[in-house]
Amino acid sequence: VGVNHLEAHLLAIHLEREVRFPYIALLASGGHTLLYCVKEIGDYLHLGGTRDDAAGEAYDKVAKMMGLGYPGGRVIDSLARNGDRMAIHFPRARFRKDSYAFSFSGIKTAVWHYLKSRGKEQWEGEIADIAASFQEAVVDMLVNPTIKAAIATGVSRIVLSGGVAANSRLREKITQRGDAEGLDVFFPAPKFCTDNGAMIALAGYHWLKRGRRDDFRLNADADLTL
């Protein structure tokens, strides 16, 4: 049974708990930042996506700028816990009110300019604040369209998926915003956020039950869409 790995991310929450359809799903990873309304298995309404870099890609590139290694998400999240997220105001991309788009190239460039303006000896002493401020900007740009989509569609459940869904500040802030708006927010355990065999097996199981069968001519398709 062929499985679309994006679909597997959207369904990964069901590995641990039952979440009723429909729900708004934010899929954020190193390669994708997408927003869907998941109506049921096999029925996915695309609401928006990134115009440039993916959220996880921005984490990786900023981590590289600061010599923090790859991948960057976990180390920036860890550093940010000891930093002041209000220390530096990095820009948030803005779109028209009815848009659910994302953009992370601007925040990446803003961090680069900040580091260049400070000099390495100075910014190394601010690294926790830089990490926290950068992360807060990225989280805001992920949370705001997701909450807006849930309110606009009248769907009261939100599901996070993809590697960035393991981020502690994203989980915290979207839960706070969801509570304030009367929305239920769900996210998988971190081990089920990144690419994993369990989510692929789950998606394959559901399609097998529905009668899908593929033969050995099936091949990988890097451009497969939902």
pTM recorded for the entire structure: 0.95
Relative to beta strand 157-161, strand 184-186 is parallel
Domain assignment present for residue 99? The answer is yes
pLDDT tens-digit profile, the chain (226 residues): 999 999 999 999 999 999 999 999 999 999 999 999 999 999 999 999 999 999 999 999 999 999 999 999 999 999 999 999 999 999 999 999 899 999 999 999 999 999 999 999 999 999 999 999 999 999 999 999 999 999 999 999 999 999 999 999 999 999 999 999 999 999 999 999 999 999 999 999 999 999 999 988 999 988 888 8
CA dihedral angle for residue 141, residue 153, residue 200, residue 194, rounded to 10 degrees: 20
Do the beta carbons of residue 192 and residue 200 sit within 8 Å? no
Total number of domains in the chain: 1
Domain assignment present for residue 224? The answer is no
Domain assignment present for residue 220? The answer is no
Q: Give the residue numbers spanning the domain of 179.
A: 5-209
- Domain harbouring 170, CATH code: 3.30.420.40
Domain assignment present for residue 173? The answer is yes
